[in-house]
Structure 1
Amino acid sequence: MSVRLGDLAQSQKMTTSLLALRTQVNDTQATISSGKKSSNLAGYGTSASTILALRIQNTRTSSYVEENTIVQSRLETMDSAMQTIGDVASQLQTLIAGRRSAGVDNAATFDKSVDLMLQSVQAALNTQYDGGYVFAGSRTDAAPVAFGNPASNGAGDTSYYQGDGKLASVKADDQTTITYGITADNPAFAALIAALSAAKAANASGSDIELADASAQSEAAVSNIADLRAGSGVTAGSLETINDTLQMNKLYFSNLSSDLEDTDISVAMAKVSADSVALQAAYSAMSKINSLSLTDYMR
């Protein structure tokens, strides 16, 4: 059977159209399966630069949130330790009151109780978070507190401290850097340690005046440590507020990116359906030109 040149040209043209339509159907089906309009940025055309910028911003925002959350956990760890130290200050007041009222009857157990309190304070000030000592300044690899005998030589004595005075900071967002933390040589801690040492000395001398003075020091320590906790709480609250804003920004960026990147499934399915009908019609037309059935053509 002879084939006219016109028929051959028409057949080639239809074959090219069929392949293009088949590719179009496959591409649309791929966007439905992946949920994305394209598998690469180039496929988004003029929206590509906007999508890239949104991805970068979202990644940076996620990094801020993650780091802020870590700092919040450190502050929570520090607050728990300070609560323990504040409790010791309150317990010292109670212990001294009992010593003053009972006289020599509880003098023998007094020193043991104070020693246990000093151990508790030392353990709290040597608290770690994720392997680092939180009250050591920047020297987080070594315990910052080691008591001698006596633990303190009086108010203002911080010879027990082995850390440094450099506080940590976190870049909480694009515009905000927050310095945070407390070192174990803080005057509030030093005053409590001095009060504990003074209480032992007063117990040894039996001086009620010295016991009263140690009690007054411990009372001041309760207030000062509460102030430290409040200040640390303000910092934690600031980070929480910033993180709330960052999380809202992340959602906003994600929604913008989704609008640009994500496949509209209903539209895509309608397009696949329409293109499939057109493809079937094209196959039928092609089979008539070539005097072949659609099944034969597809083999």
Structure 2
Amino acid sequence: MRVSTNSMNSVLLAQTLNVQSDYAKALNQQSSELKSESLAGLSGQAGAVVSLQSDLKASENLATKAKKASSMVEIAYSSITSIAEIVSKAKVEITAAISGTVSDVSNLVRDADNWLVDVQTLLNVTMGGYSVFGGSGGQSKPVDMSLGGATGSAYYQGSGTDWALMVDGSTPLTYGVRADATAFQTTITALRSLSSMTSTPDTETLQNIFDTFDSALTQLGKLQETLSDQSDSLDSVIDAQTDFQLYAESALDSVRAVDVAEATANASQIEVILKASYAALSKVTNLSLTDYLR
């Protein structure tokens, strides 16, 4: 009878190679803590991973934009606070002039000129190269006090479109304020009225300017309320996206991650099998015809 070990060798070799492949996979899972570093290794769960990764990236992008918008709103709020302080100072000085405490209004005129420069600077503030008060796509310096007359918004050279954040692909969340807002127009009108005084004004004129400043202060306060509401809305968007990202990352881990202890034990078991397979393959490979005839 003719005895051949070729068929047995082929079977054992194929089995050993399969065990070796399983061992390599187990070691990789142990070191990477992932079931597979490629989508192909996740079988039917690959689609879910791709979808979650896409949603996670979109959420991170939205959160980043919302944080930038929130920063812009904070800068706008701070600038308006500074403008409101200017208005309050102007009211104090006008009150002194009306009461007769100050007879020389030249200082008031000079202060008004300086305040106009300050307001222009505050309204031309930028963040990351974008104008905070210039509207979406507006130029970096939307306010030029050399333009326009005593009233109106001719000083404004920015965009006519508000900043907006697309929250769900169809619903825009507008934020920020433009430098042509009524509150700023009123403030600038009052400052220009002070700046343009050439002689000692009568009480009625000073009172009218005072009233204009008073109205401006109220309007500036309402703008700050609007910005506060916008800040709350943006914070809600950021919080919602943060919660979603935690959920998505957890879901991805449940699909991709492995239990390290379990992976280590599995690798050890496969290593034992692999050693046994190598031993069996070595023994069969070294068999001779004499071994079969004993």
Q: 1:20 aligns with which of 18, 22, 36?
A: 18
Q: Does 1:31 align with 2:26?
A: no
Matches within 5 A, 1:210-249: 210-249=205-244
CA separation in 1, counterparts of 2:77 and 2:48? Answer: 43
Tell me what 2:112 maps to.
Answer: 114
Residue 102 of structure 1, CA deviation:
4.2
Deviations 1:140-188 (A, max 9, x none): 2242111238x7524xx22222223221211123563212232211111
Is the 1:203–1:211 Cα contact (8 Å) retained in structure 2?
no
CA separation in 1, counterparts of 2:115 and 2:43? Answer: 69
Tell me what 1:190 maps to.
Answer: 185
Matches within 5 A, 1:256-267: 256-267=251-262
Cα 1:242–1:58 shift into 2, 3 Å? same
Residue 244 of structure 1, CA deviation:
0.4
Q: 2:74 aligns with which of 65, 73, 76?
A: 76
Cα 1:83–1:221 shift into 2, 3 Å? same
Tell me what 1:297 maps to.
Answer: none
Residue 4 of structure 1, CA deviation:
3.1
Q: Which amino acid aligns with 1:92?
A: A
CA separation in 2, counterparts of 1:164 and 1:56? Answer: 33
| SS across alignment from 1:141 | coil
Is the 1:110–1:203 Cα contact (8 Å) retained in structure 2?
no
Tell me what 1:153 maps to.
Answer: 150
| SS across alignment from 1:230 | helix
Is the 2:126–2:140 Cα contact (8 Å) retained in structure 1?
no
Q: Does 1:272 align with 2:267?
A: yes
CA separation in 1, counterparts of 2:225 and 2:253? Answer: 42
Is the 1:138–1:164 Cα contact (8 Å) retained in structure 2?
yes
Tell me what 2:283 maps to.
Answer: 288
Tell me what 2:63 maps to.
Answer: 65
- For these two proteins, the number of residue pairs brought into alignment is 286
CA separation in 2, counterparts of 1:102 and 1:148? Answer: 32
Cα 1:174–1:163 shift into 2, 3 Å? closer
Is the 2:23–2:270 Cα contact (8 Å) retained in structure 1?
yes
CA separation in 1, counterparts of 2:16 and 2:54? Answer: 40
Is the 2:175–2:230 Cα contact (8 Å) retained in structure 1?
yes
Q: Which amino acid aligns with 1:285?
A: A
Q: Which amino acid aligns with 2:192?
A: S
Is the 1:68–1:170 Cα contact (8 Å) retained in structure 2?
yes
5+ residue gaps in structure 1? 293-299
TM-score normalised by structure 2 residue count: 0.90
Is the 1:61–1:173 Cα contact (8 Å) retained in structure 2?
no
Tell me what 1:50 maps to.
Answer: 48
Aligned-residue sequence identity (percent) comes to: 24
CA separation in 2, counterparts of 1:161 and 1:215? Answer: 24
CA separation in 1, counterparts of 2:272 and 2:3? Answer: 29
Tell me what 2:91 maps to.
Answer: 93
Tell me what 2:38 maps to.
Answer: 40
Residue 200 of structure 1, CA deviation:
3.5
Is the 2:138–2:159 Cα contact (8 Å) retained in structure 1?
no
Greater CA deviation, 196-205 or 117-126?
196-205
Matches within 5 A, 1:107-186: 107-148=105-146, 152-154=149-151, 157-174=152-169, 176-186=171-181
TM-score normalised by structure 1 residue count: 0.89
Residue 202 of structure 1, CA deviation:
5.2
CA RMSD of aligned residues (A): 2.1
Deviations 1:95-125 (A, max 9, x none): 1122223455442322111111111111111
